[in-house]
Amino acid sequence: MAPIGTLHYLVVAAALFILGVIGVLTRRNVVVILMSIELILNAVNLNLVAFSRLWGLHGQVFAIFVITDAAAEAAVGLGILIAFFRNKETVNVDEVDLLKW
């Protein structure tokens, strides 16, 4: 069997990214959509760490920044979700029409 190189990790990250995109585009529940966004960010992180094995530690530092961003995004997104649920009693994205005229 071929030794595990960088390309193997990149293929796994690509598959994870595609899964996240499918989740974002096809699910109705906002919580699951936010989780799919986490999947996408994790795929990017896997890419960064896989490349950092070749080109130094910069990728790992950037992966930590991406995790920070994911935490901020999850906090704000879930806050918006709670505010929205208080108004409309639903968590489905296709019923988010407060700004629609």
Partner 1 sequence: MQQVVQPGMQPVATTFFFYFLSGLTLVSGVFVITRKNPVHSALALIFGLLAQAGLYLMLYAPFVAGVQIILYAGGIMVLFLFVIMLVNLERSRREEQFNNQWVIGLLAAVALGVLFVIVYVKGKALFPYRIAQPIENSNTQQIGVMLYGQYMFAFEIASLLLLVAIIGAVVMAKKRI
Residue numbers 36-65 binding partner 1 by CB under 8 A = 36, 38-39, 42, 45-46, 49-50, 52-58, 60-61, 63-65
User: Nearest approach, Cβ of 33 to partner 1 (angstroms)?
Assistant: 9
Interface with partner 1 includes 88 (CB under 8 A)? no
**Within 7-26, which residues bind partner 1 (CB under 8 A)?**
7-12, 14-23, 25-26
Residue 42 tokens, joined:
């994790």
CB of 97 to partner 1, least distance (A): 14
Distance, in Å, from the CA atom of 1 to the CA atom of 4, rounded to the nearest integer, reads 9
What's the N-to-C CA distance of the chain in angstroms?
59
Beta bridge partners of 29: 92
Site for partner 1 contains 96 (CB under 8 A): no
Q: How many residues bind partner 1 (CB under 8 A)?
A: 73
Number of residues written out for the chain: 101
Minimum Å gap between C-beta 101 and partner 1 is 21
- Quote the DSSP letter at residue 96: -
The structure tokens 């994870």 sit at 16
